[in-house]
């Protein structure tokens, strides 16, 4: 059940509140979006709520990275083992990586610029949209939440910040891959040995190939949850402002000109 049904007269909407989350248009810095695509292909598109394209690029990155041993090459190059880095890389797969990597950066930048223009048009049109959605499975509505809490939950476990602001699709996706990265990297096993003072065992337990995925997933989860919490708060204020103007602003108290107000 929704509290608004489209009249099919509107050209653009600023937001869409559904069971799975709140999707909205807002101004974004195209360079930031492109940077996230450079950090991990697919992340820039996920920030733009272009989920299908983002998931496709993300899975492509994972597949090519695994087949080419790219993370191992990065790890060995960072530690100064250049010859070892050359030996582990598979050029048959690595050369496939470059075109899609460049495309992800370019397309996220281009899409961000276009969506900024669409947002300005939608903001000017200021069409009504659903602000409350209730179904048998879930309830979603516009309200204000604390960006700081979204960051804290994302730092504890990537994906929880997205759950906090009801971005269900992104939350499931991020949390699932975080679990995969943590398991195969041996991170928790290394932490266990570290608490016991077994430094050598902790080092041996870590798999650098999977470990290098964690900074990207952590950074994305924190940034995405923070930005979307801030923008959801702005959207709530905008919707409330429009509602109050439409329903109450015309009922103004008229004070006679000769009446003196103390």
**What's the pLDDT tens digit per position in 55-90?**
999 999 999 999 999 999 999 998 888 888 888 988
Beta strands in the chain (DSSP E): 15-18, 21-24, 132-134, 139-141
The torsion angles phi and psi of 207, rounded to 5 degrees, stand at -110, 110
- Sign of the alpha-carbon torsion through 76, 82, 87, 92: positive
Helix or strand (DSSP H, E) at 80: none
pLDDT at residue number 251: 62
**Closest by Cα among 239, 189, 241, 236 to 211:** 189
Helix (H, G, I), strand (E, B) or coil at 229: helix
C-alpha–C-alpha distance, residues 102 and 61, integer Å: 12
What confidence score (pLDDT) does residue 125 get?
87
Residue 50 confidence class, pLDDT cut points 50, 70, 90:
very high
3-state secondary structure 131-155: CEEECCCCEEECCCCCHHHHHHHHH
Q: pLDDT above 90 covers what percent of the chain?
A: 60
The single residue listed with the structure tokens 């100064």 is 80
What is the secondary structure of 28-62 as a DSSP string? Answer: --HHHHHHHHHHSTTHHHHHTT-HHHHHHHHHHHH
Mean predicted confidence (pLDDT) in 11-21: 88
Quickly state the pLDDT bin for 8 (edges 50, 70, 90): low
Condensed to tens digits (0 to 9), the pLDDT of residues 198-245 reads 999 998 999 999 999 999 999 999 999 999 999 999 999 988 888 888
pLDDT per position as a tens digit, 151-194: 999 999 999 999 999 999 999 999 999 999 999 999 999 999 99
DSSP state of 21: E
The per-residue pLDDT for 260 is 57
pLDDT digits (tens, 9 = 90+) for 133-151: 888 888 888 899 999 999 9
φ and ψ of 16, to 5 deg: -140, 120
Tokens at 52, concatenated:
């299908």
Q: Could you tell me which residues come within 8 angstroms of residue 148 by beta carbon, excluding any fewer than 6 positions away?
A: none
């Amino acid at each position: 059940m929704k509290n608004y049904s489209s009249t099919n007269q509107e050209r653009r909407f600023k937001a869409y509140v559904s069971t799975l989350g709140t999707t909205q248009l807002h101004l974004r810095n195209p360079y930031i979006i492109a940077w996230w695509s450079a950090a991990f292909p697919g992340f820039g598109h996920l920030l733009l709520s272009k989920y299908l394209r983002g998931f496709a690029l993300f899975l492509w990155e994972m597949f090519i990275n695994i087949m080419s041993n790219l993370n191992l090459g990065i790890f060995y190059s960072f530690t100064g083992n250049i010859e070892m880095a050359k030996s582990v890389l598979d050029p048959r797969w690595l050369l496939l990586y470059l075109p899609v990597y460049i495309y992800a950066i370019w397309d996220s930048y281009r899409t961000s610029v276009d969506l900024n223009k669409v947002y300005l048009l939608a903001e000017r049109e200021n069409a009504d949209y659903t602000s409350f959605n209730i179904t048998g499975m879930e309830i979603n509505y516009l309200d204000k939440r604390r960006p700081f809490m979204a960051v804290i939950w994302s730092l504890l476990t990537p994906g929880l910040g997205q759950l906090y602001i009801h971005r269900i699709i992104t939350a499931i996706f991020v949390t699932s891959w975080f679990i995969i990265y943590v398991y195969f990297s041996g991170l928790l096993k290394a932490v266990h040995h570290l608490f016991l003072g077994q430094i050598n065992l902790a080092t041996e337990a870590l798999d650098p190939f999977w470990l290098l995925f964690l900074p990207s997933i952590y950074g994305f989860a924190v940034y995405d949850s923070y930005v979307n919490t801030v923008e959801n708060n702005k959207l709530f204020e905008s919707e409330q402002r429009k509602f109050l103007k439409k329903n109450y602003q015309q009922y103004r108290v008229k004070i006679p000109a000769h009446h003196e107000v103390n």
